[in-house]
Amino acid sequence: MDNARIDQILEKYNGEASSLIQVLLEVQSENRWLPGQALERISEGLQVPLARIQHIATFYKAFSLVPKGRHEIHICMGTACHVRGAQNVLDKVQELTGINPGETDLDLKFSLETVNCLGCCALGPVMEIDGQIHGKITPSETADALQKYE
């Protein structure tokens, strides 16, 4: 992400330090992660210490300081999904993508995360890809679901 685009985002929020989280969200939305150079530019633009920005970026799970894949996979590991076989779904996704939770594949195609709940317990086990819910999914159905995101 270039500095000119970061500056546009900063201008949108009038360079107010109170808009830090919104600025970070917008930068990440466009870039899929928060590069160090972007954090430095935000620090300068908002006059917020870089250490404070890094603290916030590491505190909230919504932010990533490493590149994310074009498609984000979330596997629900909450109680309802767990008892219905979520671990088997996770194992199959790991096998198919070659990545573990918290990782991104080398092609930056997929990022994989486990979550405690996606809020649709009756559909368990649940896999979410880019916000699309795949409910009552079986390990054998995961390959078909992932192929839609080529």
Local confidence band at 149 (pLDDT 50, 70, 90 cut-offs): confident
Q: 71-147 has which fold? A: Glutaredoxin (3.40.30)
> What integer is the mean pLDDT of 90-100?
97
The mean pLDDT of the chain is 95
Q: Would you state the pLDDT for residue 150?
A: 74
71-76 and 103-104: which strand pairing? unpaired
pLDDT for 62 beyond 90: no
CA angle 113, 76, 29 (to 5 degrees): 45
What mean pLDDT do residues 132-139 have?
A: 96
pLDDT tens, position by position, 63-84: 999 999 999 999 999 999 999 9
Q: How far apart are CA 27 and CA 65, in angstroms?
A: 12
- List where CATH 3.40.30.10 sits in the chain: 71-147
Predicted TM-score (pTM) of the model is 0.79
